[in-house]
A and B are shown apart, each in its own frame.
Chain A
Amino acid sequence: MTNRSPSPIILLGTRFLSPYIMVFGFYVIFHGHYSPGGGFQGGTLLAVSLLLIRIASGTQIANLQFKDYLATPYAALGVVIYFGTGLVAMIMGGYFLDYEQLPIPGLEAADLRYWGILIIELGIGLTVMTVLTLIYDNMVKGEDYA
């Protein structure tokens, strides 16, 4: 598979599909408060939109969308977002992950919990997306054709 070039039709089709899958992934994350969904499921859908381009076009073109060396730092950043939310709540005088104590002005306790859950779901989504991309990138390293 050394001299095979990616098919332009497949590349165009995946470039058309990828943003819609990504939008659906964000919908699943942000709509997790009202319907089945959340960080894990939405993060998987975001990873699917990245992996589609990677499978269709190879590493070189896929790196224009999401650079492979950024996967590990972003996965760590997702964990830091989750842990940091809990830590900020603890520093502000509550328990660990007690969203009532988050320093967002102008919101009552229940709404603070609402926003706290959204923040941690975003952290989970970031970690799941980047870890799945990282696994794929490392498994095909040096073996894909483009």
Chain B
Amino acid sequence: MKYLKLLLIIAFTLLLLFAASDLPYRGEADNQMNQEISMTGTPVPGNYYIQEAYNDAHTPNIVTVILGDYRSIDTLGEQIVIFTAGLIVFLLLRNRKEDEENDQ
């Protein structure tokens, strides 16, 4: 079992290294993710964001414009996730001490 685990780890390491050796270099203009047309033949929205973000919102930080404006419903979902997590903690841990006293 021990040798099987070791063998699996080595096999996956070799697989990942083989996959990583074929990755394109970062920031090259010819890369597929930097093209205006995607692999499926549709225009890439990121192209529009980079060109028009400042003109649309007068905000120099493109990330803020994308998160707050173009993708604002996604950010609303993130905020609701955090709010729900807080509510769950509140409901799970509320009055824990009193409940324990009542059980005894």
Q: Does A33 contact B (CB under 8 A)?
A: yes
Fill in one digit per residue for A107-128: 1 if any B CB lies within 8 Å of its CB, else 0. 0001101101100110110011
CB <8 Å contact, B61 and A32: yes
Q: A25: CB under 8 A from chain B?
A: no
Contact between B97 and A82, CB atoms less than 8 A apart? no
Tell me the dominant secondary structure on chain A's binding face.
Answer: helix
Measured as residues with beta carbon below 8 angstroms from the partner, the interface class of chain B is: 20 to 34
Q: Are A97 and B90 touching (Cβ within 8 A)?
A: no
Chain B residues lying within 8 Å of A113, measured Cβ to Cβ, are: 56-59, 65, 69
- Which one of B9-17, B20-28, B33-41, B72-80 is at the interface? B72-80
- Are B96 and A110 in contact (CB-based, < 8 A)? no
Q: How far is the CA of A32 from the CA of B86 in the complex (A)?
A: 24
* CB within 8 Å for A97 and B64 given contacts A127-B82, A131-B83, A131-B86: no
Q: Which of A3-11, A59-67, A136-144 contacts B (4 or more CB under 8 A)?
A: A136-144
CB of B67 closer than 8 Å to a CB of A: yes
- Nearest CB of chain A from residue B5's CB, rounded to whole Å: 37
Q: Closest approach, in angstroms, between the C-beta of A75 and any C-beta of chain B?
A: 5
**B55 is an interface residue with CB less than 8 A from chain A:** yes
In the assembly, what is the distance between CA of A139 and CA of B89, in Å? 8
26 residue pairs from A and B, CB less than 8 Å apart: A32-B61, A32-B64, A33-B61, A34-B59, A34-B60, A36-B61, A36-B63, A38-B67, A71-B86, A75-B83, A75-B87, A82-B79, A86-B72, A86-B76, A110-B56, A113-B65, A114-B59, A116-B68, A117-B59, A123-B79, A127-B86, A128-B79, A131-B82, A132-B86, A135-B86, A138-B90
Which residues of B are at the interface with A, using a C-beta cutoff of 8 A?
A: 55-61, 63-65, 67-69, 72-73, 75-76, 78-80, 82-83, 85-87, 89-90, 93-94, 96-97
Which residues of A are in contact with B by a Cβ distance under 8 Å?
32-36, 38-40, 71-72, 75-76, 78-79, 82-83, 86, 96-97, 99, 110-111, 113-114, 116-117, 120-121, 123-124, 127-128, 130-132, 134-135, 138-139, 141-142
